[in-house]
Amino acid sequence: MAYLSTTKTNIIAISSCVPTHIEKTADYNHISVEERELFAKTTGIKERRVAAKDVACSDLCFTAAKHLLDKYNCAEEIDVLIFVSQSPDYILPATSILLQNRLGLKKDCIAFDISLGCSGYVYGLSVITNLMQSGQLKKGLLIVGDKSSTSTTYTDKSTYPLFGDAGTATLIEHSQTKNEMHFNLQSDGSGKNAIIIEHGSCRTPFDKTLEDLVEIEPGISRAKKHLILNGMDVFNFALKEAASNITTLYEKSNKSKENTDYFVMHQANKLINESVRKKLKIDLEKVPYSIDVFGNTSSASIPLTMCYKMKEALRTKKLSLLLSGFGVGYSWGSVILETENVYTKLLEYDRA
Partner 1 sequence: MNSIEEFTKGLEVEFEDLEPGTLSSATNFRSIKGWSSMHALIIIAYIDANFNALLNGADLKSAQTIQDLYNITIEKLK
**Residue of 245, 266, 269, 273 marked catalytic:** 266
The residue from 153, 155, 158, 221 that contacts partner 1 (CB under 8 A) is 158
With b meaning 16 or more CB within 10 Å and e meaning fewer, what string describes 57-72? bbbbbbbbbbbbbeee
| Cβ proximity to partner 1, 88 vs 191, nearer residue | 191
Using the rule CB under 8 A, give the single segment among 109-117, 232-240, 295-303, 333-341 that binds partner 1.
232-240
For position 24 contacting partner 1 by CB under 8 A, the verdict is: no
Q: Between vectors from CA 272 to CA 269 and to CA 276, what angle results, nearest 5°? A: 135
Told to judge if 296 belongs to the known catalytic residues of this protein, a careful annotator would answer yes
| Cβ proximity to partner 1, 273 vs 324, nearer residue | 273
For position 192 contacting partner 1 by CB under 8 A, the verdict is: no
In contact, 117 and 328? CB cutoff 8 Å: yes
For position 236 contacting partner 1 by CB under 8 A, the verdict is: yes
| Cβ proximity to partner 1, 232 vs 352, nearer residue | 232
**Residues constituting the chain:** 352
Cis peptide before 288 (omega within 30 of 0): no
Task: Report helix, strand or coil for 306.
Answer: helix
**Where in 244-303 is the site for partner 1 (CB under 8 A)?**
269, 271-272, 275, 278
DSSP at 150: G
| Cβ proximity to partner 1, 200 vs 219, nearer residue | 219
| Cβ proximity to partner 1, 167 vs 295, nearer residue | 295
The residue from 35, 180, 261, 340 that contacts partner 1 (CB under 8 A) is 35
Using the rule CB under 8 A, give the single segment among 4-12, 71-79, 224-232, 288-296 that binds partner 1.
224-232
The residue from 15, 16, 43, 290 that contacts partner 1 (CB under 8 A) is 43
For position 240 contacting partner 1 by CB under 8 A, the verdict is: yes
| Cβ proximity to partner 1, 233 vs 338, nearer residue | 233
CA-closest candidate to residue 109, choices 86, 125, 132: 132
Q: How many CB atoms lie within 10 A of CB 327?
A: 27
Query: Which residue stretches of the chain are H helix?
Result: 33-43, 57-72, 95-102, 120-132, 231-253, 270-280, 291-294, 301-309, 311-316
For position 239 contacting partner 1 by CB under 8 A, the verdict is: yes
For position 39 contacting partner 1 by CB under 8 A, the verdict is: yes
Told to judge if 57 belongs to the known catalytic residues of this protein, a careful annotator would answer no
**Residue of 17, 57, 61, 118 marked catalytic:** 118
Told to judge if 266 belongs to the known catalytic residues of this protein, a careful annotator would answer yes
Distances from the Cα of 135 to the Cα of 4, 109, 175, 279, angstroms: 18, 14, 8, 39
Give me the DSSP letters along 230-264: -HHHHHHHHHHHHHHHHHHHHHHHT--GGG-SEEE
Provide the pairing of β-strand 318-327 with 331-340: antiparallel
Tell whether the torsion through CA atoms of 113, 56, 232 and 243 is positive or negative. Answer: positive
Distance CA 163, CA 266 (A): 12
Using the rule CB under 8 A, give the single segment among 72-80, 81-89, 226-234, 282-290 that binds partner 1.
226-234
Shortest CB 36 distance to partner 1, Å: 10
The residue from 203, 232, 281, 352 that contacts partner 1 (CB under 8 A) is 232
- Residues annotated as catalytic (active site), given as ranges: 118, 266, 296
Would you tell me which residues interact with partner 1 (CB under 8 A)? Answer: 31-32, 34-35, 38-39, 42-43, 158, 230-233, 235-236, 239-240, 269, 271-272, 275, 278
